[in-house]
Amino acid sequence: MTLWEFFVKGGPLMWPLLACSVVAMAIIIERLFALRQSRIIPKDLIEEVERLTRMGRLSDIEQLLKRSTSPICPVIMMAIKNAGMRREIIKDYMEEAGASEAYSIERYIDILGIIAAIAPLLGFLGTVTGMLTSFQAVSITGTHSSQLLAAGISEALITTVVGLSIGIPVYVCYRLLIARSDYLVMEMEKTSARILEYLKGDEHEVPKDKKGQEDFGS
């Protein structure tokens, strides 16, 4: 039996199953490429931002961030643009930008969860409709051949096999990509918090002139 013959014997529900497999494969490949740590949190970029932040060269940081397409750049940019504000306000702005970028990191992954759920169901539906067709054929012909019935049921089970073959690996990839995206979002938060500390780390230091006044007053 050729692959095409196997596909045709599965019935019309093989087409939506094929569509599910193609869409799932496209999303998995795209997300594996998009969720590389070197793309989300480029090490060289972060090191340069930290160096420029310590030097106070905020305008240079803005130019550097504008040239990058990393999702962490809008988060850092929000801190740089509001550097004159209080730490709590900057953190709120960064969290808003981070939430937007987290959504872009996690996009399409939910579709994999849907495909993993509906592919086996489509397979079961194809099996049920195939078995109904087989029983109807037996009742119409009036023959009670076990071979004829077994052949019809075996063909009806093709969609179940295909549905499970799609659903199981897609679900595994779905869980792995969810874990990967959660990890990257957490790393983005840590990196952004570290840069905020470099940017506003001197807030808690007592100015020398103020310290001298306090000593004089005591």
What pLDDT digit, counting tens, does each position of 64-85 carry? 999 988 999 999 999 888 888 8
pLDDT at 146 over 80: no
- pLDDT at residue 90 tops 70: yes
Q: What percent of the chain has pLDDT over 90?
A: 43
Residue 86 domain flag: yes
Dihedral angle computed from the Cα positions of residues 39, 40, 42 and 48, in that order, rounded to the nearest 10 degrees? 140
By the 8 A CB rule, do 168 and 24 touch? Answer: no
Q: Please tell me the predicted confidence (pLDDT) of residue 53.
A: 86
The pTM assigned to this predicted structure is 0.79
30 within some domain: yes
Is the predicted pLDDT of residue 206 greater than 70, yes or no?
no
> Of residues 87 and 148, which shows the higher confidence score?
87
Q: How many domains does the chain have?
A: 1
pLDDT band at 86 (very low <50, low <70, confident <90, very high): confident
User: Mean pLDDT over residues 109-132, rounded?
Assistant: 92
Residue 207 above 70 pLDDT?
no
- How far apart, in whole angstroms, are the C-alpha atoms of residue 167 and residue 56? 52
Say yes or no to pLDDT of 26 above 90: yes
pLDDT for the residue 205: 38
pLDDT at position 141: 65
Give a yes or no: residue 157 inside a domain: no
pLDDT at 180: 95
The whole-number pLDDT of residue 144 equals 60
CB–CB of 2/149 below 8 Å?
A: no
Does residue 127 lie within any of the structural domains? no
CA distance 195 to 46: 9
58 close to 80: Cβ distance less than 8 angstroms: yes
H or E element in which residue 12 lies: none
> In the predicted model, is pLDDT for residue 1 greater than 80?
no
**Token pair of 100 as six digits:** 């937007």
User: What local confidence, expressed as pLDDT, does residue 10 receive?
Assistant: 82
Amino acid identity for residue 106 in this structure: E
Tell me, yes or no, whether 216 lies in a domain.
no
Which residues span the domain enclosing 181?
12-118+166-201
> How far apart are the C-alpha atoms of 172 and 2, rounded to whole Å?
29
- Work out the average pLDDT over 155-176: 93
Of the listed ranges 78-82, 107-111, 186-190, the one predicted with least confidence: 78-82
In a domain, 123, yes or no: no
In a domain, 53, yes or no: yes
Residue 132 lies in a domain: no
